[in-house]
Amino acid sequence: MSANATQHTLLPQELIRLKRDNQSLPAEEIKAFVQGIADDRISDAQIGAFTMAVFLNGMSREEVVALTTATRDSGHVMQWSDLNLPGPIVDKHSTGGVGDLVSLVLGPWVAACGAFVPMISGRGLGHTGGTLDKLESIPGYDPYPAPERFREVVKSTGVAIIGQTGDLAPADKRIYGVRDVTATVESIPLITASILGKKLASGLDALVMDVKVGSGAFMPTPEKSRELAKSIANVATQAGTPTTALLTDMSQPLAPCAGNAVEIVETLALLRGDRPNSRVMQVTRELAVEMLIAGKLAGSREEALTQLEKALTSGAAAEVFARMVRELGGPSDFMERSEHYLAKAEVIKPVYAEQSGVVQRIDTRAVGMSVVELGGGRLRNDASVDHSVGFTDIVEIGEHVDSQRPIAMVHARSEAAAERAAEQLRAAFTIGEGTASADTLLQDTFRGEAL
């Protein structure tokens, strides 16, 4: 059977053979194969063979668009037109990192400017913190509301940050599970289709992507991060959702904290406007500008910045966050009395470097894994999370540390756990003489090209 035969669907093994032999796959055949995955008609062995063939031979842009749209359409695709929302449906996705609490600030901030943000977020993965784990620090917060409730909260509040339900892009769940155990995770086409299949099922008008680069990034090299950013921007745009990807620095924790409850504390401070020029706020602001422009809520960067400043200083962004928490089951007075609700660690103590000097480099991945070992993340999918543990007051590259200035404060459940984490943290920091400076925070911007 030739690759062009579309009068009836290829057998799965024929499609696998074509990709094994580095042939291009017709879009209709990709769609049928992915639907077979969602329907359990394709076996794990066949998924594994397919993903390995893609890993080894790659895919054309057209093939990745077909794989992405097929993944998106393998389950429920949200529709918003019946709600007659008076603004655009926009969202953001990050490849993840350490101290990356951007979503928690960005969603409410952009919603306060007139956008609607149905944000489907995930749990922690490897060394990266999960937005859902952070939100679950808030007593009563329900990250899995019924679909209609989710729509109601988006309409009434402007933003709802929840977890992925089983009916959104179900094919991706199976493909990802197989990739994880067949050494095919690091394929740019498969990563692109996985990320976008889930995101585009949210029925978005526009998407902004935050792709990390540096020692805490998901991708192993700056070149791979750049390749992924371009791929996501172009594939999503060609799949019908205009998308911009920003390449941002993750050579050190983005916020001065890493954990769950501690990042919620920082989120509230940022929403109150306490640290408008911090690194995390600079990244959040850039993403917010792109979302407002993409959603046609602002005609220029200057106009977007003016709107964002007003939403922050007026307290509107903080009020949207408070309303979202309340609408999804959290305390009605959370903004005012967060310290009453958030779990606190048994042991909180400073971590000092073994020598005085200037922070030259940070192994950000190691910092994230130390939070996981403290109990703030998962070594296994079914593990529970200790929301109270983590690090605060983490110093930045270029800062001086000595016997008076610790590299961080550790929050742990016991003295022994605190000491182990302190050792790991010291090993993650390179201290030396002379000045040092961090990499550029915003490294590049890629705007998707339509076909």
Contacts of 239 (CB under 8 A, 6+ apart): 65, 68, 69, 72, 196, 200
Q: Which residue ranges in the chain fall short of pLDDT 50?
A: 1-6
- Per DSSP, helices labelled H in 11-99 are 12-20, 27-38, 44-57, 61-72
Q: How many CA atoms lie within 13 A of 435 on its CB side?
A: 2
Note the Cα 220 to chain centre separation in Å: 17
Catalytic residues: 91-94, 131, 179, 194, 198-199
- Residue 130 and residue 95: Cα distance in Å, rounded? 11
- Residue 267 and residue 334: Cα distance in Å, rounded? 12
pLDDT of residue 323: 98
- Residue 68 and residue 392: Cα distance in Å, rounded? 39
What digits encode the pLDDT tens for the residues 310-336? 999 999 999 999 999 999 999 999 999
pLDDT of residue 100: 95
- Residue 307 and residue 252: Cα distance in Å, rounded? 29
Q: Is 44 exposed, middle or buried (0-12, 13-18, 19+ CB in 10 A)?
A: middle
pLDDT of residue 124: 67
CB atoms within 10 A of CB 52: 19
Q: Side chain identity at 169, as an amino acid letter?
A: A
Q: Is 366 exposed, middle or buried (0-12, 13-18, 19+ CB in 10 A)?
A: middle
- Residue 185 and residue 166: Cα distance in Å, rounded? 21
Question: E strands, 276-379, where?
Answer: 347-351, 357-362
- Residue 381 and residue 9: Cα distance in Å, rounded? 36
Contact 196, 190 (CB under 8 A): no
Task: Tell me how long the chain is.
Answer: 451
Q: Using alpha carbons, list the distances in angstroms from residue 138 to 65, 66, 133, 327, 358.
A: 38, 39, 10, 13, 36
Tell me the helix, strand and coil percentages in the chain, rounded to 5: 45, 15, 40
pLDDT of residue 379: 65
Contacts of 289 (CB under 8 A, 6+ apart): 298, 301, 304, 305, 308
- Domains defined along the chain, listed by start: 81-167+197-337 (3.40.1030.10), 343-432 (3.90.1170.30)
